[in-house]
Amino acid sequence: MDPPPEHCMFGPYKIHSKEVFYATPLSFAMVNLRPVLPGHVLVCPRREVKRFDDLSAEEVSDLWHSAQKIGSQLERHHGASSLTFTIQDGPQAGQTVPHVHIHILPRKSSDFEKNDEIYDALDEKEKELKQKLDLDKDRKDRSFEEMAREADEYRMLFS
């Protein structure tokens, strides 16, 4: 694993290295500002790319290889039995930050009554984030300190 730079860009937003827990030359993984479930993280290409189709073959390979490795560790760490990997590719798909990212969610049998409700929950969190970004309403976000602690915990899984 490569050390993360001082910060990574996630679309127009600077993500502090303390929120990043995994990095390669082409990808990085960060904790989520508004997780749907414990262990909900994001994996992004280092290059700012809006749409999945704009990634190079090397970036696609590295992104999914990173997601596979991270998902496996987080599934064990959270005592989950499955994983949801999802990409919202473009605004009509629910993407609120114009930078390709894979959501990884460790799943347990009791997390949602109906399995596909996970997508409604993701959509709701994205809408809340869009309102926050557009209107700067009262934050329901996690604190930087809370996110840094979680990233420290996850970083240990890859050291």
Point out the annotated binding site for substrate. Answer: 32, 88, 94-97, 103
Q: Where are the alpha helices (DSSP H) in 35-142?
A: 57-77, 117-135
Q: Tell me, yes or no, if 78 is annotated catalytic.
A: no
Give the burial class of 136: count Cβ atoms within 10 A of its Cβ; 0-12 exposed, 13-18 middle, 19 or more buried.
Answer: exposed
Identify which of 20, 87, 23 has the alpha carbon closest to the alpha carbon of residue 49.
87
Sheet holding 102-107, edge to edge: 20-23, 27-31, 41-45, 102-107, 82-86
Q: Which of 7, 40, 78, 101 is catalytic?
A: 101
Distance (Å, whole) CA 93 – CA 56:
21
Instruction: Just list the catalytic residues.
Output: 101
